[in-house]
Structure 1
Amino acid sequence: MSQPEIRALLRGRRYLAFWLGQVTSTVGNQLTVVVLAALVVPDRGPGVFGLVLAVESAVMGVLLLAGGVVADRYSRSTVMAVADVLRLAGIVGFFLFASQGPLAPLLAAAAVTGAGAALYEPAHRAALAQVVPEELRQQAYALDVSTKRLGSMAGALLAGVLLAGISPPKTLLVDIATFVVSLVTLVWLRLPPVRAAADARADGAETDGADADAPGGLRGMLDEAREGLVEVRRRPWAAVLMLQGTVQVFFLFAPNYILVPMVSQTRYGLSAFGWVSAATLAGSVAGSLLGGRVSSARPGLWAMNALAPCVLTPVCLAVDVPLWVFCAAGAAGSAGVGCFMVLWYSSLQREFPERVQGRVFALEGLASFGLQPIALAATPLLVRFVGTATFAAVAAVVLLGSTYGALAVPGTARFATRVPTRENPAAGEVKNRN
């Protein structure tokens, strides 16, 4: 991704507000995790801290699809603002009950925070189409993915600096300020609802901004959720790649969370995981920026090839290699994931109608990370049963098989359902930017 492309994105006032909100929200999320650990672990123990994170993750998973329905029904900036209010309420609950008092209010605060995340994530992904012209969306996703990585690092560093100088409760007040900044940008943005406008374009008719024929209540939400599922089923390549995400949670993401810090510290010393984490972060940022520069008729093929280096980390878990090789493997794998995510998210936005994108992104998040808590719990048990080397070898085989096996499904190589024609150049004319 080039500097002129970044400048072109940030010149737009709407995108600039959207991007600033995302940056502060990402910093705030990481601050929350670090400060919450500092508040909970000393007084309540690591078990309670794990329970708090589990409740937050579980509530997010349960409500994610409902969050997608809401994002498609109402203004996405308003939905994100409501999500920030919920997360603010959860942080206030952490402030009051993290260190002392009954456990139930603390878990309730975690549940509220998870509900806010379930609203925020689908709306955030889908809103990008409303603030960025189509020709810049891939670049916008590249900036989005890289910003999230850098924002997480900045949030962790800021938390460390603040905790070294002030108490955890006061640090949590700084965390609250980041969500206030995000909330202000979203209130200013005021994106209109997309559903009525999309229906009007499809029907060739004017509308007053509401879908009078849509059923309300729980039945209406279930019908809309079903519509999102139908849209995904009409595109088998998208459904298969979402299933691929579920498989790779068990054999890539969860093992990376559990095994990489364990193995790196055992082999190379306590400081080794810091070097591995830094290399992984740098690779992710580089890969996402590279993804913004890919212009091909077969972005899916690029994306699958980008994922292939992820197999290097399981190999390094199974084989004793020097620390620099371990770091390089982590960097290469995370670069591939970053590149894949940019191409994948931008293709979903091209392929699916605007009016269902909130539900599509919710389904994608649910498929990719809904089972992550189970995978995190199962990985140590599997490793204890079969051994690290055997588990890593199986993971490597599954990763390669699920990556290149997906290319057998029509549409995967192009990340599109229809073959591009001269009348449909947006589906993928080859342009060389190099």
Structure 2
Amino acid sequence: MSQPEIRALLRSRQYLAFWLGQVTSTVGNQLTVVVLAAMVVPDRGPGTFGLVLAVESAVIGVLLLVGGVFADRYSRSAVMAVADVLRLVGIVGFFLFASHGPLGPLLVAAALTGAGAALYDPAHRAALAQVVPEELRQQAYALDASTKRLGSMGGALLAGVLLAGIAPPKALLVDVVTFAISLATLVWLRLPPVRTALDAADAGGAGGARDAGPGGLRAMLAEAREGLVEVRQRPWVSALMLQGTVQVFFFFAPNYILVPIVSQSRYGVAAFGWVSAATLAGSVVGSLLAARVSVARPGLWAMHALAPCVLTPVCLAVDVPLSVFCAAGAAGSAGISCFMVLWYSSLQREFPEQVQGRVFALEGMAGFALQPVALAVTPLIVRFIGMAPFATVAAVVLFVSTYGVLAVPGTDRFATPVRTRETPVLAAAGKEKVTCG
């Protein structure tokens, strides 16, 4: 990303507030994970810590689409502010119950932080279109992705420094400050709802499910279904979401479970730190490089960027030097970051603004669907068939799923081939058309 592009983004007071809120929120999230482990594991054991993370993940999975509906229905900055309030309350619950006391309130706190994340993520991704002009959105996504990675690293480092000098509960109070800063930026931002008065009138007069009113369950279910229809109308989007679900099982889960085990057993206890550092560096580089991609077929470039992900399973199967292991992690992470910037930018170009919250929620659900299962069963599969066979299968599946989606029309350009067609969400009015491609 060029300096003029960065200056153009940061000159916008709206984007600057949006960006600062995201950075502080990311730092706080990572700090919470590290400090929470230091509070829960010594007193309650690793099993309880795993249960807390499982509850948080389960709530995210259940409520993510609800978060997408809210992001399209209400002010996205307000939805993110509510999400931060929920997470603040959850952090207070961690402060009170992480180390001692009944288990129930601790799990409630985890559920609140999960609910906050489910509300925050779709609204945050969809809100970018409201604060950044279309010609700078790809660059904005690149800056967003790179600062998230750096913010996560900063949060982990800050947690380490704090834990070295003060008790974990006091370190957790610093997280309250980060979320308070994020909340302040969102209150100042005050983005208007994306729904126009005409949209609301059409929704209220369409009959059927809409009769339940703006807050009714039937209306929410109808809106969630509209998001599903929008995605189904674009087979290339559905194919890429399915690709994400598959690759979570064969790449992300092995990265979380197998890479730490293999790196430490082969190269020593400090090796995973080097692999993690290389992976982080690769993700930042990939995000920044993606901001400079301007081609007629961004989808094809995105698949080429994903291809190096197969190197990590290969390194799990074959005993390579640590430097090669690190390089493989960096290359795969750079490719994923590049893909994500191009992917998210294409979703905002492709879908009407008033459904983007639900689309991003569905995209998140597709990526999240198999994650808990994959994390649970990957070690069992490796124990049953061995590391090398599993890694070989993973490499083949990753390669085939990466390039196989190009057979679906539109994937190579990240755009629907049909030039003009009616979108389901706008079809109720029977008046509007959307140009795609």
Q: TM-score range by the shorter chain?
A: over 0.9
Map 1:213-224 onto structure 2 (within 5 A).
213=205, 214=210, 215-216=212-213, 217-224=216-223
AA aligned opposite 1:125 = R
The superposition leaves residues 226-283 of structure 1 with CA deviations (integer Å, 9 ceiling, x where unpaired) of 0000000000000010000000010000000000000000000000000000000000
Q: What residue number does 2:194 align with?
A: 194
Q: Unaligned regions of 5+ residues in structure 1, if any?
A: 201-206, 429-434
AA aligned opposite 2:392 = A
Q: What residue number does 1:212 align with?
A: 204
- 8 Å CA contact 1:142–1:288 kept in 2: the answer is yes
Q: What residue number does 1:78 align with?
A: 78
AA aligned opposite 1:157 = L
For residue 370 of structure 1, report the CA deviation from its aligned partner.
2.8
> Residues 419, 139 of structure 1: CA spacing in aligned structure 2 closer, same or farther, 3 A cutoff?
farther
The superposition leaves residues 128-178 of structure 1 with CA deviations (integer Å, 9 ceiling, x where unpaired) of 000000000000000011111000000000000001011101101101000
| Secondary structure in 2 matching 1:289 | helix
Q: Unaligned regions of 5+ residues in structure 2, if any?
A: 421-434
The superposition leaves residues 76-109 of structure 1 with CA deviations (integer Å, 9 ceiling, x where unpaired) of 0000000000000000000000000000000010
For residue 371 of structure 1, report the CA deviation from its aligned partner.
2.2
2:418 and 2:7 mapped to 1: Cα distance? 32
For residue 196 of structure 1, report the CA deviation from its aligned partner.
1.9
| Secondary structure in 1 matching 2:204 | coil
Q: What residue number does 2:335 align with?
A: 336
1:345 and 1:289 mapped to 2: Cα distance? 14
The superposition leaves residues 372-413 of structure 1 with CA deviations (integer Å, 9 ceiling, x where unpaired) of 111100110111111110000000000000000000000000
> Residues 256, 90 of structure 1: CA spacing in aligned structure 2 closer, same or farther, 3 A cutoff?
same
The superposition leaves residues 337-386 of structure 1 with CA deviations (integer Å, 9 ceiling, x where unpaired) of 00000000000000000000000000000001132111100110111111
| Secondary structure in 2 matching 1:191 | coil
> Residues 288, 427 of structure 1: CA spacing in aligned structure 2 closer, same or farther, 3 A cutoff?
farther
- 8 Å CA contact 2:416–2:436 kept in 1: the answer is no
- 8 Å CA contact 1:297–1:427 kept in 2: the answer is no
1:334 and 1:371 mapped to 2: Cα distance? 20
For residue 212 of structure 1, report the CA deviation from its aligned partner.
3.3
AA aligned opposite 1:291 = A
> Residues 427, 306 of structure 1: CA spacing in aligned structure 2 closer, same or farther, 3 A cutoff?
farther
Q: What residue number does 1:108 align with?
A: 108
The superposition leaves residues 282-335 of structure 1 with CA deviations (integer Å, 9 ceiling, x where unpaired) of 000000111111001101001000000000000000000000000000000000
1:309 and 1:156 mapped to 2: Cα distance? 27
Q: What residue number does 2:379 align with?
A: 380
2:292 and 2:81 mapped to 1: Cα distance? 31
- 8 Å CA contact 2:250–2:397 kept in 1: the answer is yes
1:288 and 1:419 mapped to 2: Cα distance? 30
1:176 and 1:38 mapped to 2: Cα distance? 17
TM-score relative to the length of structure 1 = 0.94
For residue 125 of structure 1, report the CA deviation from its aligned partner.
0.4
Q: What residue number does 1:35 align with?
A: 35
For residue 420 of structure 1, report the CA deviation from its aligned partner.
7.3
For residue 5 of structure 1, report the CA deviation from its aligned partner.
0.8
Map 1:346-357 onto structure 2 (within 5 A).
346-357=345-356
| Secondary structure in 2 matching 1:412 | coil
For residue 418 of structure 1, report the CA deviation from its aligned partner.
2.8
Query: How many percent identity over aligned positions?
Result: 83
2:68 and 2:290 mapped to 1: Cα distance? 25
Map 1:229-378 onto structure 2 (within 5 A).
229-378=228-377
1:319 and 1:41 mapped to 2: Cα distance? 34
Higher deviation after alignment, 252-261 or 367-376: 367-376
1:272 and 1:139 mapped to 2: Cα distance? 33
For residue 2 of structure 1, report the CA deviation from its aligned partner.
1.2
2:368 and 2:339 mapped to 1: Cα distance? 16
1:97 and 1:286 mapped to 2: Cα distance? 40
Aligned length: 416
AA aligned opposite 1:392 = A
1:212 and 1:118 mapped to 2: Cα distance? 26
In the alignment, is residue 14 of structure 1 matched against residue 6 of structure 2? Answer: no
2:118 and 2:436 mapped to 1: Cα distance? 30
1:7 and 1:245 mapped to 2: Cα distance? 33
Q: What residue number does 1:204 align with?
A: none
| Secondary structure in 1 matching 2:196 | helix
- 8 Å CA contact 1:317–1:392 kept in 2: the answer is yes
Q: What residue number does 1:432 align with?
A: none
1:292 and 1:179 mapped to 2: Cα distance? 28
2:5 and 2:170 mapped to 1: Cα distance? 39
TM-score relative to the length of structure 2 = 0.93
Q: What residue number does 1:203 align with?
A: none
Q: What residue number does 2:175 align with?
A: 175
- 8 Å CA contact 1:162–1:171 kept in 2: the answer is yes
2:4 and 2:419 mapped to 1: Cα distance? 28
| Secondary structure in 2 matching 1:24 | helix
- 8 Å CA contact 2:31–2:159 kept in 1: the answer is yes
- 8 Å CA contact 1:196–1:211 kept in 2: the answer is no
| Secondary structure in 2 matching 1:109 | helix
AA aligned opposite 2:289 = L
AA aligned opposite 1:212 = G
Map 1:384-423 onto structure 2 (within 5 A).
384-418=383-417
